[in-house]
């Protein structure tokens, strides 16, 4: 099922913009500290075992790759933004994990068909601009009988609502670019994988973010660490009214999802989908 991707100048510019966005702020602090539990959840749900070959797609700083490696698997972490690998290698070293970090585009992975036993992505591949291409690549590089597993933010959960709140304040995407939040819809993911997979499993759960005293404290932090939010605010920095409006919109989302009584506890729902590639 080898695929050929034709890269245009527009596509190269789009990927360069994506790479720059995720290099902003401090995404490793989000992946490794704030949502650290998600990597082990995906590794366990996908059934990673010692001796297997695992590819972590759109791996960021390796919050799936490192726990996968700690099972004894042989792990490659691939990401479009290699600036994140400095933190990823340090993260792996702290845990005594061996991970190969390699630059790669989720829509055009530099691996042969059927190269890996498990192909995983944790809130990563969902941000690739062309969903069909990315899904095709996940399946292509997984061996027949192997497992594809993705953990995505729920379409109607906190992060999905956050991106909807940001939408009026960022430039419209180029034609053909699809919203990341769609990956949080199980039926949509099923449609992307299609009849190339079987034994589809679905798990829904939430990660609780409880380290911020107030929604404002969360927003102040988020505006400095999360690349897409950093980029959104940079784009409207010369318009104080729009900055204030975006502040209000994001605080409203945080308020709706705050489950705390004395301090802020934000519930961020996610969906895990695993599937076996047909033999």
Q: Which pLDDT belongs to residue 2? A: 46
Buried b (16+ CB within 10 A) or exposed e, 157-172: bbbbbbbebbeebbee
Q: Which pLDDT belongs to residue 6? A: 52
CA-CA distance, 213 to 184, in Å (whole number)? Answer: 28
Q: Which pLDDT belongs to residue 4? A: 45
At the topology level, CATH places domain 9-155+173-206+269-277 in Rossmann fold (3.40.50)
Give the count of alpha carbons within 13 A of 41, CB side only.
19
Residue 268's DSSP bridge partners are: 207
Judged by DSSP in three states, 26 sits in: coil
Domain boundaries, the chain: 9-155+173-206+269-277
CA-CA distance, 48 to 13, in Å (whole number)? Answer: 36
Query: What distances in angstroms separate CA 100 from CA 59, 77, 110, one per listed residue?
Result: 11, 6, 14
Low-confidence ranges of the chain (pLDDT < 50): 1-5
Judged by DSSP in three states, 100 sits in: strand
Interval 121-163: pLDDT, tens: 999 999 999 999 999 999 999 999 999 999 999 999 999 999 9
Taking the chain, what is the end-to-end CA distance rounded to the nearest angstrom?
12
């Amino acid at each position: 099922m080898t695929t050929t991707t034709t890269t245009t100048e527009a596509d190269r510019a789009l990927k360069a913009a994506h790479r720059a966005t995720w290099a902003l702020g401090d995404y490793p602090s989000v992946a490794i500290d704030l949502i650290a539990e998600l990597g082990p959840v995906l590794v366990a749900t996908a059934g990673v075992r010692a001796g297997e070959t695992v590819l972590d797609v759109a791996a960021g700083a390796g919050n799936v790759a490192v726990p996968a490696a700690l099972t004894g698997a042989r792990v490659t972490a691939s990401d479009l933004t290699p600036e994140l690998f400095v933190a990823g290698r340090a993260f792996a070293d702290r845990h005594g994990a061996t991970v190969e970090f390699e630059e790669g585009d989720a829509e055009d992975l530099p691996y042969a068909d059927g190269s890996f036993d498990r192909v995983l992505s944790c809130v990563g591949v969902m941000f690739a601009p062309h969903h069909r291409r990315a899904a095709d690549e996940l399946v292509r590089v997984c061996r027949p009988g192997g497992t594809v597993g993705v953990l995505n933010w729920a379409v109607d959960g906190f992060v999905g609502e956050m991106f909807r709140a940001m939408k009026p304040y960022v430039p419209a995407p180029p034609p053909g670019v699809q919203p990341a939040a769609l990956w949080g819809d199980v039926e949509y993911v099923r449609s992307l994988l299609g009849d190339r997979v079987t034994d589809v499993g679905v798990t829904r759960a939430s990660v609780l973010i409880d380290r911020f005293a107030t929604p404002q404290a969360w927003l102040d932090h988020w505006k400095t660490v999360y690349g897409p939010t950093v980029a959104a605010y940079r784009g409207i920095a010369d318009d104080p009214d729009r900055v204030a409006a975006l502040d209000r919109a994001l605080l409203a989302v945080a308020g709706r999802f705050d489950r705390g009584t004395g301090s802020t506890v934000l519930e961020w729902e996610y969906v895990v989908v695993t599937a076996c590639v047909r033999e």
